[in-house]
Structure 1
Amino acid sequence: MAGGLVALLDDIAALVKLAAASVDDVGAAAGRASIKATGVVVDDTAVTPRYVQGLSPERELPIIKRIALGSLRNKIVIILPVILVLSQFLPWLLTPLLMLGGAYLSFEGAERIWEALSGAHEDEPAAAVDASQEKAVVSGAIRTDFILSAEIMVIALNEVAGEAFWARAAILVIVAVVITALVYGVVGLIVKMDDVGLRLAQQESPSAQRVGRLLVKGMPVLLEALSTIGIVAMLWVGGHILVVGFDELGWHGPLGVVHALEEAGQGVPALGGVLGWLGGTVGSAIFGLVVGALVVGLLHLLPRRRAAH
Protein backbone atom coordinates (compact mmCIF):
# COMPACT_ATOMS: atom_id res chain seq x y z
CA MET A 1 0.00 0.00 0.00
CA ALA A 2 2.81 2.34 0.95
CA GLY A 3 4.64 1.43 -2.23
CA GLY A 4 1.56 2.21 -4.29
CA LEU A 5 1.19 5.58 -2.55
CA VAL A 6 4.83 6.44 -3.25
CA ALA A 7 4.41 5.46 -6.89
CA LEU A 8 1.27 7.60 -7.11
CA LEU A 9 3.10 10.56 -5.59
CA ASP A 10 5.95 10.04 -8.04
CA ASP A 11 3.47 10.03 -10.91
CA ILE A 12 1.84 13.22 -9.61
CA ALA A 13 5.26 14.86 -9.23
CA ALA A 14 6.13 13.86 -12.80
CA LEU A 15 2.84 15.30 -14.06
CA VAL A 16 3.45 18.53 -12.15
CA LYS A 17 6.93 18.80 -13.67
CA LEU A 18 5.50 18.11 -17.12
CA ALA A 19 2.79 20.74 -16.62
CA ALA A 20 5.38 23.25 -15.39
CA ALA A 21 7.57 22.53 -18.40
CA SER A 22 4.54 22.99 -20.67
CA VAL A 23 3.76 26.33 -19.04
CA ASP A 24 7.39 27.37 -19.49
CA ASP A 25 7.26 26.30 -23.14
CA VAL A 26 4.04 28.24 -23.72
CA GLY A 27 5.51 31.31 -22.00
CA ALA A 28 8.73 31.10 -24.00
CA ALA A 29 6.83 30.63 -27.26
CA ALA A 30 4.57 33.56 -26.41
CA GLY A 31 7.66 35.67 -25.77
CA ARG A 32 9.20 34.73 -29.13
CA ALA A 33 5.93 35.39 -30.93
CA SER A 34 5.55 38.78 -29.22
CA ILE A 35 9.09 39.84 -30.19
CA LYS A 36 8.38 39.02 -33.84
CA ALA A 37 5.45 41.46 -33.76
CA THR A 38 7.65 44.34 -32.58
CA GLY A 39 7.27 46.43 -35.73
CA VAL A 40 3.49 46.47 -35.55
CA VAL A 41 3.54 47.08 -31.79
CA VAL A 42 5.72 50.18 -32.17
CA ASP A 43 3.46 51.47 -34.92
CA ASP A 44 0.36 50.84 -32.80
CA THR A 45 1.96 52.68 -29.88
CA ALA A 46 2.89 55.61 -32.12
CA VAL A 47 -0.55 55.89 -33.73
CA THR A 48 -2.89 55.61 -30.73
CA PRO A 49 -2.00 58.87 -28.87
CA ARG A 50 -3.45 60.82 -31.79
CA TYR A 51 -6.93 59.63 -30.90
CA VAL A 52 -6.98 61.44 -27.57
CA GLN A 53 -5.80 64.78 -28.93
CA GLY A 54 -8.44 67.40 -28.24
CA LEU A 55 -9.93 65.51 -25.29
CA SER A 56 -10.02 66.99 -21.82
CA PRO A 57 -7.21 65.53 -19.63
CA GLU A 58 -9.64 63.70 -17.32
CA ARG A 59 -11.14 61.82 -20.31
CA GLU A 60 -7.84 60.63 -21.83
CA LEU A 61 -7.26 57.51 -19.72
CA PRO A 62 -10.92 56.34 -19.82
CA ILE A 63 -10.88 56.63 -23.61
CA ILE A 64 -7.58 54.73 -23.84
CA LYS A 65 -9.08 52.03 -21.61
CA ARG A 66 -12.08 51.69 -23.92
CA ILE A 67 -9.81 51.46 -26.98
CA ALA A 68 -7.64 48.86 -25.20
CA LEU A 69 -10.67 46.71 -24.37
CA GLY A 70 -11.84 47.00 -27.97
CA SER A 71 -8.38 45.99 -29.17
CA LEU A 72 -8.38 42.94 -26.89
CA ARG A 73 -11.84 42.01 -28.16
CA ASN A 74 -10.57 42.31 -31.74
CA LYS A 75 -7.69 39.95 -31.02
CA ILE A 76 -9.40 37.27 -28.89
CA VAL A 77 -13.04 37.24 -29.99
CA ILE A 78 -12.72 37.91 -33.72
CA ILE A 79 -9.19 37.36 -35.03
CA LEU A 80 -8.03 34.44 -32.86
CA PRO A 81 -10.81 31.94 -33.80
CA VAL A 82 -10.45 32.73 -37.50
CA ILE A 83 -6.69 32.28 -37.70
CA LEU A 84 -6.77 29.17 -35.50
CA VAL A 85 -9.27 27.53 -37.85
CA LEU A 86 -7.14 28.52 -40.84
CA SER A 87 -3.98 27.17 -39.21
CA GLN A 88 -5.73 23.87 -38.43
CA PHE A 89 -7.44 23.23 -41.76
CA LEU A 90 -5.79 25.55 -44.31
CA PRO A 91 -2.23 26.05 -43.02
CA TRP A 92 -0.93 26.80 -46.53
CA LEU A 93 -2.87 30.09 -46.35
CA LEU A 94 -0.68 31.43 -43.52
CA THR A 95 2.26 32.37 -45.75
CA PRO A 96 0.12 34.35 -48.26
CA LEU A 97 -1.73 36.02 -45.38
CA LEU A 98 1.55 36.95 -43.73
CA MET A 99 2.85 38.32 -47.03
CA LEU A 100 -0.28 40.43 -47.47
CA GLY A 101 0.33 41.82 -44.01
CA GLY A 102 4.01 42.37 -44.83
CA ALA A 103 3.03 44.25 -47.99
CA TYR A 104 0.61 46.36 -45.95
CA LEU A 105 3.30 47.20 -43.39
CA SER A 106 5.74 48.07 -46.18
CA PHE A 107 3.10 50.26 -47.81
CA GLU A 108 2.38 52.06 -44.53
CA GLY A 109 6.06 52.78 -43.96
CA ALA A 110 6.69 53.90 -47.54
CA GLU A 111 3.56 56.05 -47.58
CA ARG A 112 4.65 57.94 -44.46
CA ILE A 113 8.05 58.60 -46.04
CA TRP A 114 6.33 59.79 -49.23
CA GLU A 115 4.03 62.09 -47.25
CA ALA A 116 6.98 63.54 -45.34
CA LEU A 117 8.98 64.18 -48.53
CA SER A 118 6.10 65.49 -50.63
CA GLY A 119 4.26 67.44 -47.94
CA ALA A 120 1.10 65.67 -49.03
CA HIS A 121 -0.08 65.31 -45.45
CA GLU A 122 0.13 68.13 -42.95
CA ASP A 123 -0.87 67.57 -39.34
CA GLU A 124 -3.75 69.86 -38.41
CA PRO A 125 -4.31 71.22 -34.92
CA ALA A 126 -6.52 68.87 -32.94
CA ALA A 127 -10.11 70.05 -32.59
CA ALA A 128 -11.85 69.82 -29.25
CA VAL A 129 -13.86 66.64 -28.82
CA ASP A 130 -17.00 66.66 -26.70
CA ALA A 131 -18.65 63.74 -24.95
CA SER A 132 -21.06 63.07 -27.83
CA GLN A 133 -18.11 62.52 -30.18
CA GLU A 134 -16.16 60.17 -27.92
CA LYS A 135 -18.01 57.10 -29.17
CA ALA A 136 -17.04 57.90 -32.75
CA VAL A 137 -13.41 58.47 -31.69
CA VAL A 138 -13.29 55.11 -29.89
CA SER A 139 -14.97 53.27 -32.78
CA GLY A 140 -12.54 54.76 -35.29
CA ALA A 141 -9.53 53.84 -33.16
CA ILE A 142 -10.77 50.25 -32.72
CA ARG A 143 -11.34 49.88 -36.48
CA THR A 144 -7.80 51.06 -37.18
CA ASP A 145 -6.49 48.78 -34.45
CA PHE A 146 -8.18 45.80 -36.09
CA ILE A 147 -5.73 45.77 -39.01
CA LEU A 148 -2.70 46.11 -36.75
CA SER A 149 -4.07 43.50 -34.32
CA ALA A 150 -4.69 41.04 -37.16
CA GLU A 151 -1.10 41.45 -38.31
CA ILE A 152 0.24 40.98 -34.77
CA MET A 153 -1.77 37.79 -34.31
CA VAL A 154 -0.85 36.29 -37.69
CA ILE A 155 2.85 37.04 -37.11
CA ALA A 156 2.61 35.44 -33.67
CA LEU A 157 0.74 32.42 -35.04
CA ASN A 158 3.39 31.85 -37.69
CA GLU A 159 5.99 31.56 -34.93
CA VAL A 160 4.07 28.79 -33.16
CA ALA A 161 2.47 27.04 -36.13
CA GLY A 162 4.15 23.77 -35.17
CA GLU A 163 2.55 23.63 -31.72
CA ALA A 164 -0.57 21.62 -30.89
CA PHE A 165 -3.93 23.32 -31.41
CA TRP A 166 -4.66 24.16 -27.77
CA ALA A 167 -1.07 25.22 -27.16
CA ARG A 168 -1.37 27.63 -30.10
CA ALA A 169 -4.61 28.97 -28.65
CA ALA A 170 -3.06 29.50 -25.20
CA ILE A 171 0.05 31.14 -26.63
CA LEU A 172 -1.97 33.52 -28.80
CA VAL A 173 -4.21 34.50 -25.88
CA ILE A 174 -1.09 35.33 -23.86
CA VAL A 175 0.33 37.32 -26.78
CA ALA A 176 -2.95 39.22 -27.18
CA VAL A 177 -3.17 40.15 -23.50
CA VAL A 178 0.52 41.01 -23.05
CA ILE A 179 0.84 43.10 -26.20
CA THR A 180 -2.44 44.95 -25.59
CA ALA A 181 -1.42 45.75 -22.01
CA LEU A 182 2.04 46.82 -23.18
CA VAL A 183 0.84 49.04 -26.01
CA TYR A 184 -1.94 50.81 -24.16
CA GLY A 185 0.01 51.00 -20.91
CA VAL A 186 2.78 52.84 -22.74
CA VAL A 187 0.20 54.99 -24.55
CA GLY A 188 -1.33 55.94 -21.19
CA LEU A 189 2.09 56.99 -19.88
CA ILE A 190 2.80 59.00 -23.01
CA VAL A 191 -0.45 60.96 -23.06
CA LYS A 192 -0.19 61.81 -19.36
CA MET A 193 3.47 62.83 -19.56
CA ASP A 194 2.68 66.49 -20.21
CA ASP A 195 0.14 66.60 -17.36
CA VAL A 196 2.69 65.17 -14.94
CA GLY A 197 5.24 67.65 -16.28
CA LEU A 198 2.91 70.60 -15.73
CA ARG A 199 2.25 69.55 -12.13
CA LEU A 200 5.95 69.15 -11.44
CA ALA A 201 6.70 72.51 -13.05
CA GLN A 202 4.32 74.16 -10.54
CA GLN A 203 6.12 72.71 -7.52
CA GLU A 204 8.35 74.87 -5.31
CA SER A 205 11.38 72.61 -5.74
CA PRO A 206 13.70 73.85 -8.52
CA SER A 207 14.67 70.27 -9.39
CA ALA A 208 11.00 69.26 -9.71
CA GLN A 209 10.39 72.28 -11.93
CA ARG A 210 13.31 71.31 -14.18
CA VAL A 211 12.03 67.74 -14.50
CA GLY A 212 8.53 69.04 -15.22
CA ARG A 213 9.71 71.38 -17.97
CA LEU A 214 11.80 68.56 -19.43
CA LEU A 215 8.76 66.27 -19.54
CA VAL A 216 6.60 68.92 -21.21
CA LYS A 217 9.25 69.68 -23.82
CA GLY A 218 10.06 65.99 -24.28
CA MET A 219 6.52 64.93 -25.17
CA PRO A 220 6.57 66.16 -28.83
CA VAL A 221 10.12 64.82 -29.25
CA LEU A 222 9.09 61.41 -27.95
CA LEU A 223 6.06 61.21 -30.23
CA GLU A 224 8.20 62.21 -33.23
CA ALA A 225 10.84 59.62 -32.30
CA LEU A 226 8.16 56.93 -31.92
CA SER A 227 6.77 57.83 -35.33
CA THR A 228 10.22 57.53 -36.95
CA ILE A 229 11.01 54.26 -35.17
CA GLY A 230 7.60 52.97 -36.21
CA ILE A 231 8.33 53.69 -39.88
CA VAL A 232 11.68 51.90 -39.73
CA ALA A 233 10.16 48.97 -37.84
CA MET A 234 7.31 48.61 -40.34
CA LEU A 235 9.71 48.51 -43.29
CA TRP A 236 12.03 46.06 -41.51
CA VAL A 237 9.32 43.67 -40.31
CA GLY A 238 7.27 43.96 -43.51
CA GLY A 239 10.32 43.43 -45.69
CA HIS A 240 11.50 40.45 -43.65
CA ILE A 241 8.06 38.82 -43.86
CA LEU A 242 8.10 39.28 -47.63
CA VAL A 243 11.60 37.93 -48.30
CA VAL A 244 10.94 34.84 -46.13
CA GLY A 245 7.54 34.34 -47.78
CA PHE A 246 8.96 34.59 -51.30
CA ASP A 247 11.66 32.10 -50.32
CA GLU A 248 9.01 29.62 -49.14
CA LEU A 249 7.11 30.12 -52.41
CA GLY A 250 10.22 29.41 -54.49
CA TRP A 251 11.79 32.82 -55.18
CA HIS A 252 15.06 32.61 -53.23
CA GLY A 253 16.81 35.73 -54.54
CA PRO A 254 15.68 38.35 -51.96
CA LEU A 255 16.42 36.16 -48.95
CA GLY A 256 19.76 35.21 -50.49
CA VAL A 257 20.72 38.89 -50.71
CA VAL A 258 19.69 39.46 -47.08
CA HIS A 259 21.75 36.45 -45.97
CA ALA A 260 24.73 37.73 -47.99
CA LEU A 261 24.52 41.08 -46.17
CA GLU A 262 24.35 39.28 -42.82
CA GLU A 263 27.40 37.16 -43.66
CA ALA A 264 29.35 40.22 -44.84
CA GLY A 265 28.71 41.93 -41.52
CA GLN A 266 29.54 38.83 -39.52
CA GLY A 267 32.98 38.72 -41.13
CA VAL A 268 34.05 41.91 -39.32
CA PRO A 269 36.12 41.08 -36.19
CA ALA A 270 34.64 42.04 -32.80
CA LEU A 271 31.53 43.65 -34.31
CA GLY A 272 30.44 40.71 -36.45
CA GLY A 273 27.27 39.92 -34.48
CA VAL A 274 25.99 43.48 -34.47
CA LEU A 275 26.95 44.23 -38.08
CA GLY A 276 25.51 40.90 -39.24
CA TRP A 277 22.16 41.71 -37.62
CA LEU A 278 22.30 45.26 -38.97
CA GLY A 279 23.07 44.04 -42.50
CA GLY A 280 20.11 41.68 -42.48
CA THR A 281 17.84 44.33 -40.99
CA VAL A 282 18.86 46.97 -43.53
CA GLY A 283 18.45 44.48 -46.39
CA SER A 284 14.94 43.56 -45.24
CA ALA A 285 14.02 47.23 -44.74
CA ILE A 286 15.23 48.16 -48.24
CA PHE A 287 13.19 45.35 -49.76
CA GLY A 288 10.19 46.50 -47.76
CA LEU A 289 10.73 50.07 -48.93
CA VAL A 290 10.89 48.98 -52.58
CA VAL A 291 7.68 46.95 -52.32
CA GLY A 292 5.97 49.69 -50.32
CA ALA A 293 7.02 52.35 -52.82
CA LEU A 294 5.53 50.29 -55.66
CA VAL A 295 2.22 50.01 -53.80
CA VAL A 296 2.26 53.74 -52.98
CA GLY A 297 2.86 54.51 -56.66
CA LEU A 298 -0.02 52.29 -57.74
CA LEU A 299 -2.44 53.75 -55.19
CA HIS A 300 -1.45 57.43 -55.40
CA LEU A 301 0.26 58.26 -58.65
CA LEU A 302 -1.64 56.19 -61.24
CA PRO A 303 -5.10 57.52 -60.26
CA ARG A 304 -3.79 61.09 -60.65
CA ARG A 305 -2.47 60.37 -64.13
CA ARG A 306 -5.80 58.87 -65.16
CA ALA A 307 -7.63 61.91 -63.79
CA ALA A 308 -5.32 64.21 -65.75
CA HIS A 309 -6.21 62.42 -68.99
Structure 2
Amino acid sequence: MRVAITGGTGFVGRHLAERLDSTETVVVSRRTGVPIDDVDALAAAFAGCDVVAHCAGINRELGDQTFEHVHVEGTRAVVEAARRAGVTRIVMVSFLRARPDCGSAYHETKWAAEELVRHSGIDHTILKSGMIYGPGDHMVNHVTRAVRTLPMFATVGFRERTVRPIPVEDAIDVLVAAIEGRIPEQTVAVMGAEEFTLGEAVRRIARVAGRRPVFFPAPVWTIRALAQLTEWTMVVPLVAKAQARMLDEGVSEPAPFAPELPLGIRPSRAFSDERIRAALPVGRFGLDDLRIMQWRPGLRRRTEVKQETVADAIE
Protein backbone atom coordinates (compact mmCIF):
# COMPACT_ATOMS: atom_id res chain seq x y z
CA MET A 1 0.00 0.00 0.00
CA ARG A 2 1.43 3.35 -1.04
CA VAL A 3 0.71 6.29 1.31
CA ALA A 4 1.17 10.04 0.82
CA ILE A 5 1.52 12.12 3.99
CA THR A 6 0.68 15.83 3.90
CA GLY A 7 2.49 17.78 6.60
CA GLY A 8 4.98 14.91 6.42
CA THR A 9 7.80 16.90 8.04
CA GLY A 10 5.64 18.13 10.92
CA PHE A 11 5.29 16.51 14.33
CA VAL A 12 2.66 13.83 13.59
CA GLY A 13 3.52 13.43 9.91
CA ARG A 14 7.19 12.86 10.67
CA HIS A 15 6.44 10.16 13.23
CA LEU A 16 4.02 8.47 10.81
CA ALA A 17 6.62 8.51 8.02
CA GLU A 18 9.13 6.87 10.37
CA ARG A 19 6.64 4.07 11.10
CA LEU A 20 5.71 3.29 7.48
CA ASP A 21 7.77 1.56 4.81
CA SER A 22 9.90 4.36 3.35
CA THR A 23 9.81 2.80 -0.12
CA GLU A 24 6.00 3.05 -0.15
CA THR A 25 5.67 6.49 1.48
CA VAL A 26 5.53 9.93 -0.15
CA VAL A 27 6.28 12.84 2.18
CA VAL A 28 4.47 16.02 1.12
CA SER A 29 5.20 19.42 2.68
CA ARG A 30 6.46 22.88 1.88
CA ARG A 31 9.94 21.67 2.74
CA THR A 32 9.71 19.00 0.02
CA GLY A 33 8.58 21.63 -2.48
CA VAL A 34 4.85 20.86 -2.58
CA PRO A 35 2.64 23.70 -1.29
CA ILE A 36 -0.57 22.53 0.36
CA ASP A 37 -2.71 24.66 -2.01
CA ASP A 38 -1.08 23.55 -5.29
CA VAL A 39 -3.50 21.01 -6.78
CA ASP A 40 -1.25 20.08 -9.70
CA ALA A 41 1.79 19.51 -7.50
CA LEU A 42 -0.28 17.52 -4.99
CA ALA A 43 -1.82 15.36 -7.73
CA ALA A 44 1.65 14.58 -9.07
CA ALA A 45 2.83 13.67 -5.56
CA PHE A 46 -0.24 11.48 -4.97
CA ALA A 47 0.16 9.58 -8.25
CA GLY A 48 0.23 5.85 -7.56
CA CYS A 49 -0.83 6.28 -3.92
CA ASP A 50 -3.72 4.34 -2.41
CA VAL A 51 -4.18 6.52 0.69
CA VAL A 52 -3.52 10.12 1.66
CA ALA A 53 -2.84 10.74 5.36
CA HIS A 54 -3.77 14.41 5.66
CA CYS A 55 -1.72 15.58 8.65
CA ALA A 56 -1.02 19.17 7.55
CA GLY A 57 -2.18 21.89 9.93
CA ILE A 58 -1.06 24.86 12.01
CA ASN A 59 -1.89 26.08 15.51
CA ARG A 60 -1.05 29.73 14.85
CA GLU A 61 -1.22 32.02 11.84
CA LEU A 62 2.03 33.31 10.38
CA GLY A 63 2.08 35.54 7.31
CA ASP A 64 0.12 33.93 4.47
CA GLN A 65 -0.12 30.68 6.43
CA THR A 66 -3.58 31.44 7.84
CA PHE A 67 -6.05 28.94 9.24
CA GLU A 68 -8.34 29.53 6.24
CA HIS A 69 -5.51 29.02 3.78
CA VAL A 70 -3.91 25.93 5.35
CA HIS A 71 -6.93 24.13 6.81
CA VAL A 72 -9.70 24.97 4.33
CA GLU A 73 -8.04 25.83 1.02
CA GLY A 74 -5.33 23.25 1.68
CA THR A 75 -7.87 20.49 2.34
CA ARG A 76 -9.89 21.50 -0.72
CA ALA A 77 -6.74 21.14 -2.80
CA VAL A 78 -5.87 17.78 -1.18
CA VAL A 79 -9.35 16.40 -1.95
CA GLU A 80 -9.25 17.55 -5.59
CA ALA A 81 -5.71 16.22 -6.05
CA ALA A 82 -6.73 12.89 -4.51
CA ARG A 83 -9.60 12.63 -7.02
CA ARG A 84 -7.28 13.34 -9.95
CA ALA A 85 -4.71 10.82 -8.74
CA GLY A 86 -7.25 8.07 -8.12
CA VAL A 87 -6.61 7.88 -4.36
CA THR A 88 -9.15 5.55 -2.75
CA ARG A 89 -8.96 6.70 0.89
CA ILE A 90 -8.24 9.87 2.85
CA VAL A 91 -7.34 9.78 6.54
CA MET A 92 -7.54 13.24 8.10
CA VAL A 93 -6.12 14.33 11.45
CA SER A 94 -8.44 16.95 12.92
CA PHE A 95 -8.99 18.39 16.41
CA LEU A 96 -11.16 16.83 19.11
CA ARG A 97 -13.36 19.92 19.53
CA ALA A 98 -13.38 21.28 15.97
CA ARG A 99 -16.86 22.61 15.32
CA PRO A 100 -18.70 25.45 13.54
CA ASP A 101 -19.87 28.81 14.88
CA CYS A 102 -17.84 28.79 18.10
CA GLY A 103 -15.88 32.03 17.67
CA SER A 104 -12.49 30.39 17.14
CA ALA A 105 -11.00 30.48 13.63
CA TYR A 106 -8.88 27.44 14.42
CA HIS A 107 -11.83 25.29 15.50
CA GLU A 108 -14.08 26.53 12.70
CA THR A 109 -11.58 25.99 9.89
CA LYS A 110 -10.72 22.53 11.15
CA TRP A 111 -14.45 21.73 11.05
CA ALA A 112 -14.77 23.18 7.54
CA ALA A 113 -11.88 20.93 6.48
CA GLU A 114 -13.65 17.92 8.00
CA GLU A 115 -16.78 18.76 6.01
CA LEU A 116 -14.80 18.93 2.77
CA VAL A 117 -13.51 15.42 3.41
CA ARG A 118 -16.95 14.13 4.46
CA HIS A 119 -18.51 15.38 1.22
CA SER A 120 -15.61 14.40 -1.04
CA GLY A 121 -17.13 11.16 -2.27
CA ILE A 122 -13.87 9.42 -1.31
CA ASP A 123 -13.75 6.75 1.40
CA HIS A 124 -12.37 8.42 4.51
CA THR A 125 -11.66 8.39 8.22
CA ILE A 126 -11.59 11.62 10.24
CA LEU A 127 -9.61 11.39 13.47
CA LYS A 128 -10.80 14.07 15.92
CA SER A 129 -7.70 14.02 18.07
CA GLY A 130 -6.88 15.53 21.44
CA MET A 131 -3.40 16.67 22.56
CA ILE A 132 -0.61 14.51 21.18
CA TYR A 133 2.75 14.53 22.94
CA GLY A 134 6.18 13.08 22.31
CA PRO A 135 9.65 14.11 21.13
CA GLY A 136 9.35 17.37 19.19
CA ASP A 137 5.83 18.23 20.35
CA HIS A 138 4.41 21.60 21.44
CA MET A 139 3.13 20.39 24.83
CA VAL A 140 5.91 18.79 26.87
CA ASN A 141 8.47 20.88 24.99
CA HIS A 142 6.98 24.26 25.89
CA VAL A 143 5.98 23.38 29.44
CA THR A 144 9.48 22.05 30.17
CA ARG A 145 11.24 25.07 28.75
CA ALA A 146 8.85 27.38 30.63
CA VAL A 147 9.42 25.76 34.04
CA ARG A 148 13.19 25.79 33.43
CA THR A 149 13.02 29.51 32.65
CA LEU A 150 10.48 30.91 35.11
CA PRO A 151 9.95 30.34 38.84
CA MET A 152 6.14 30.46 38.51
CA PHE A 153 3.59 28.83 36.23
CA ALA A 154 0.00 29.97 35.65
CA THR A 155 -2.80 27.45 35.25
CA VAL A 156 -5.78 28.38 33.07
CA GLY A 157 -8.81 29.68 34.93
CA PHE A 158 -10.03 29.21 38.48
CA ARG A 159 -11.86 25.99 37.60
CA GLU A 160 -9.39 23.75 35.87
CA ARG A 161 -10.39 21.82 32.79
CA THR A 162 -9.23 18.30 32.06
CA VAL A 163 -7.04 16.83 29.34
CA ARG A 164 -6.41 13.33 27.99
CA PRO A 165 -2.92 13.46 26.44
CA ILE A 166 -2.14 10.95 23.71
CA PRO A 167 1.38 9.50 23.37
CA VAL A 168 2.56 9.92 19.80
CA GLU A 169 3.12 6.15 19.62
CA ASP A 170 -0.61 5.62 20.25
CA ALA A 171 -1.56 8.36 17.79
CA ILE A 172 0.50 6.67 15.07
CA ASP A 173 -1.03 3.27 15.90
CA VAL A 174 -4.45 4.86 15.32
CA LEU A 175 -3.34 6.47 12.07
CA VAL A 176 -1.99 3.17 10.76
CA ALA A 177 -5.26 1.43 11.69
CA ALA A 178 -7.19 4.12 9.79
CA ILE A 179 -4.88 3.86 6.78
CA GLU A 180 -5.42 0.09 6.72
CA GLY A 181 -9.22 0.53 6.94
CA ARG A 182 -9.55 -1.09 10.38
CA ILE A 183 -11.72 1.68 11.89
CA PRO A 184 -15.38 1.17 10.95
CA GLU A 185 -16.66 4.68 11.75
CA GLN A 186 -15.92 7.57 9.39
CA THR A 187 -15.46 10.08 12.24
CA VAL A 188 -13.98 9.05 15.59
CA ALA A 189 -12.70 10.73 18.75
CA VAL A 190 -9.10 9.99 19.67
CA MET A 191 -8.27 10.56 23.35
CA GLY A 192 -5.60 9.36 25.75
CA ALA A 193 -6.12 6.61 28.30
CA GLU A 194 -5.87 8.93 31.36
CA GLU A 195 -7.92 12.02 32.24
CA PHE A 196 -6.60 14.63 34.68
CA THR A 197 -6.44 18.39 35.08
CA LEU A 198 -4.07 20.50 33.06
CA GLY A 199 -2.39 21.49 36.33
CA GLU A 200 -1.66 17.86 37.12
CA ALA A 201 -0.18 17.36 33.64
CA VAL A 202 2.10 20.37 34.12
CA ARG A 203 3.13 19.22 37.60
CA ARG A 204 4.11 15.81 36.26
CA ILE A 205 6.20 17.39 33.51
CA ALA A 206 7.87 19.80 35.94
CA ARG A 207 8.70 17.00 38.37
CA VAL A 208 10.29 14.86 35.64
CA ALA A 209 12.21 17.94 34.45
CA GLY A 210 13.51 18.45 37.99
CA ARG A 211 11.69 21.74 38.64
CA ARG A 212 9.23 22.89 41.31
CA PRO A 213 7.71 26.18 40.16
CA VAL A 214 5.04 27.98 42.14
CA PHE A 215 1.69 27.25 40.52
CA PHE A 216 -1.13 29.77 40.61
CA PRO A 217 -4.50 30.05 38.86
CA ALA A 218 -4.85 32.91 36.37
CA PRO A 219 -8.04 34.32 34.80
CA VAL A 220 -8.64 33.06 31.28
CA TRP A 221 -8.37 36.58 29.83
CA THR A 222 -4.80 36.86 31.10
CA ILE A 223 -3.82 33.61 29.35
CA ARG A 224 -5.41 34.90 26.14
CA ALA A 225 -3.50 38.16 26.52
CA LEU A 226 -0.29 36.20 27.10
CA ALA A 227 -1.01 34.18 23.96
CA GLN A 228 -1.42 37.32 21.89
CA LEU A 229 1.75 38.82 23.36
CA THR A 230 3.84 35.71 22.72
CA GLU A 231 2.48 35.35 19.17
CA TRP A 232 3.69 38.91 18.55
CA THR A 233 7.08 38.50 20.20
CA MET A 234 8.20 34.84 19.93
CA VAL A 235 9.21 32.77 16.94
CA VAL A 236 7.29 29.84 18.40
CA PRO A 237 4.93 31.30 21.03
CA LEU A 238 4.86 30.01 24.59
CA VAL A 239 1.14 29.54 24.04
CA ALA A 240 -0.82 30.34 20.88
CA LYS A 241 -4.29 31.92 20.92
CA ALA A 242 -5.82 28.71 19.58
CA GLN A 243 -4.11 26.73 22.33
CA ALA A 244 -5.39 29.15 24.99
CA ARG A 245 -8.92 28.49 23.74
CA MET A 246 -8.31 24.74 23.87
CA LEU A 247 -7.06 24.88 27.44
CA ASP A 248 -9.98 27.08 28.49
CA GLU A 249 -12.43 24.46 27.15
CA GLY A 250 -10.53 21.37 28.17
CA VAL A 251 -9.39 18.65 25.79
CA SER A 252 -11.05 15.54 27.13
CA GLU A 253 -14.29 15.10 25.19
CA PRO A 254 -15.30 15.63 21.56
CA ALA A 255 -17.51 18.42 20.29
CA PRO A 256 -19.77 17.65 18.54
CA PHE A 257 -20.16 14.06 19.68
CA ALA A 258 -18.07 11.44 17.94
CA PRO A 259 -17.73 7.80 19.01
CA GLU A 260 -14.52 6.61 20.62
CA LEU A 261 -12.25 4.20 18.84
CA PRO A 262 -12.90 0.46 19.08
CA LEU A 263 -11.17 -1.38 21.92
CA GLY A 264 -7.85 -2.70 20.73
CA ILE A 265 -7.20 0.44 18.66
CA ARG A 266 -8.00 2.98 21.38
CA PRO A 267 -4.91 4.68 23.00
CA SER A 268 -3.83 2.75 26.09
CA ARG A 269 -0.39 4.03 27.13
CA ALA A 270 -0.19 6.10 30.33
CA PHE A 271 1.17 9.64 30.69
CA SER A 272 4.13 8.14 32.49
CA ASP A 273 7.44 9.54 33.70
CA GLU A 274 9.21 7.43 31.08
CA ARG A 275 7.22 8.89 28.18
CA ILE A 276 7.47 12.42 29.55
CA ARG A 277 11.25 12.02 29.92
CA ALA A 278 11.55 10.82 26.32
CA ALA A 279 9.84 14.03 25.16
CA LEU A 280 11.89 16.48 27.27
CA PRO A 281 13.72 19.08 25.15
CA VAL A 282 17.19 20.46 25.76
CA GLY A 283 17.52 23.91 27.31
CA ARG A 284 15.11 26.68 28.20
CA PHE A 285 13.65 29.78 26.57
CA GLY A 286 16.27 32.32 25.54
CA LEU A 287 16.92 35.37 23.37
CA ASP A 288 16.87 33.36 20.16
CA ASP A 289 13.20 32.57 20.83
CA LEU A 290 12.33 36.27 20.36
CA ARG A 291 11.33 37.51 16.92
CA ILE A 292 13.15 40.80 17.51
CA MET A 293 16.42 38.86 17.43
CA GLN A 294 15.90 37.69 13.84
CA TRP A 295 18.22 40.41 12.54
CA ARG A 296 21.25 38.87 14.28
CA PRO A 297 23.19 36.79 11.70
CA GLY A 298 24.10 34.07 14.17
CA LEU A 299 20.46 33.50 15.07
CA ARG A 300 18.81 34.01 11.69
CA ARG A 301 19.00 30.41 10.45
CA ARG A 302 17.73 29.00 13.75
CA THR A 303 14.79 31.41 13.53
CA GLU A 304 14.05 30.29 9.96
CA VAL A 305 14.09 26.64 11.01
CA LYS A 306 11.68 27.32 13.88
CA GLN A 307 9.33 29.20 11.55
CA GLU A 308 9.39 26.32 9.07
CA THR A 309 8.55 23.98 11.92
CA VAL A 310 5.54 26.12 12.85
CA ALA A 311 4.36 26.11 9.24
CA ASP A 312 4.56 22.30 9.07
CA ALA A 313 3.41 21.45 12.60
CA ILE A 314 0.23 19.68 13.52
CA GLU A 315 -1.33 20.66 16.88
> Which is greater in Rg?
1
Higher helix share: 1
Higher strand share: 2
Identify which of structures 1 and 2 has the higher relative contact order when contacts are C-alpha pairs closer than 8 Å and 6+ apart.
Answer: 1
User: Shared topology, TM-score over 0.5?
Assistant: no
Q: Give the TM-score range, shorter chain.
A: under 0.3
User: Given the two structures, how large is their TM-score scaled by the length of structure 2?
Assistant: 0.23
